[in-house]
A and B are shown apart, each in its own frame.
Chain A
Amino acid sequence: GDSVTQTEGPVTVSESESLIINCTYSATSIAYPNLFWYVRYPGEGLQLLLKVITAGQKGSSRGFEATYNKETTSFHLQKASVQESDSAVYYCALGDPGTQVVGQLTFGRGTRLQVYA
Chain B
Amino acid sequence: QQQVKQSPQSLIVQKGGIPIINCAYENTAFDYFPWYQQFPGKGPALLIAIRPDVSEKKEGRFTISFNKSAKQFSLHIMDSQPGDSATYFCAAKFGAGSYQLTFGKGTKLSVIP
A, B in one complex: no
